Amino acid sequence: MKFFVIFAALIVISMAAQKKVTLVSCVAPGWASQNGGTTGGGDNVAETTVSTYAQLKAAIKNASIKLIKVIGTITITARLTLKDQTGKTIYGTAGAKLVSTDQTKDGSGIINIRRCNNIIIRNLIFEGPGAYDTDGWDNLILDDCQNVWIDHCEFRDGVDGNFDIKNKSDFITVSYTKFQYVKAPKPGGSGGTNDHRFSNLIGSGDGAIADAGKLNVAFVRCWWAPGCKERMPRVRFGKANILVEKNVFENVKNPISLMSGFTAVTQTGNSFINVTGNTSGSGTVFTPPYSINELNVTDVRADVTANAGATLDGNYCGAF
């Protein structure tokens, strides 16, 4: 099952080559470019390098630390929380990885970001222990956050999911990011689902009325790779205006699932290869307030599979 680029909950996609610039000069595309933009820790700030769990935890909790560089593999012994902060960048050097091996309800997950603004996370691998339906935690959660840019990351084998965006979060862009499951799901969880390889959820739930008018999210040049079963992504409540533009859907069933509660779903310029089920939208959605340099749909597959994930070996930006 493969997904290559998709939009959800007010989302837009496109493709282009990369160019080398300094980390702080990278400009967030999509919805994260709105509402004043997303700059993270900013320019001319001291960099804090971390290579252990204790160092990472201390740097995340310290609001005065604005730029964190992650080196090597860090085992997450207890889920981290970044909350009530504004202006912070966390990025990894080549191969940097955050790993959790806990499949329990309370102990699972890697980072929960809550009530934060202007956050950038780049070039990191988030690796969980595998899907197990214990009503546990995702590898990463954005909870009531605004202006967040997740770029060139990889999310694999989350317990409850790979990465969820919920609870009034807004002006979010996820670009050149890869989602996958390489470990077999564990059956018999208390949640009742034996195969919970459900990658991405946008919205807290169908009755989350506080999400109304929020959840402006763009997935740009992202790849849902083999192993993902559902929620690639799934959109709940919020505006539920979904633009699916210039994606490649390959070897999947029901690539566009029109569930109840949506306002409109527009699909345009997509490529459907060896798929079954619905490929049509319904209604006319929003016009994006930003622009992204688009690739031809024939170039999407090669570009995304080559560049999505924690693939940077320097401070590169996509030419959005």
3-class SS of residue 130? coil
| pLDDT tens by residue, 194-216 | 999 999 999 988 888 899 889 99
User: Helix or strand or coil: residue 127?
Assistant: strand
pLDDT on residue 9 = 39
What token pair was written down for 246?
A: 């210039």
What is the DSSP code (8-state) at residue 276?
A: B
pTM of the model: 0.93
Per-run averaged pLDDT (10 residues), the chain, 320 residues: 39 38 75 96 91 98 97 98 98 96 98 98 97 98 98 97 97 97 98 97 88 93 96 86 94 91 90 96 93 91 95 75
Domain edges within the chain:
2-318
Which amino acid, one-letter code, is at 254? N
DSSP code per residue over 149-208: EEES-EEE--SS-SEEEETT-EEEEEES-EEE--SPPBP--TTS-S---B-EEESS-TT-
| pLDDT value for 236 | 87
For 11, 55, 198, the CA distances from 80, given in Å and listed in that order, are 28, 12, 22
Class of domain 2-318: mainly beta
What letter represents residue 86's amino acid? T
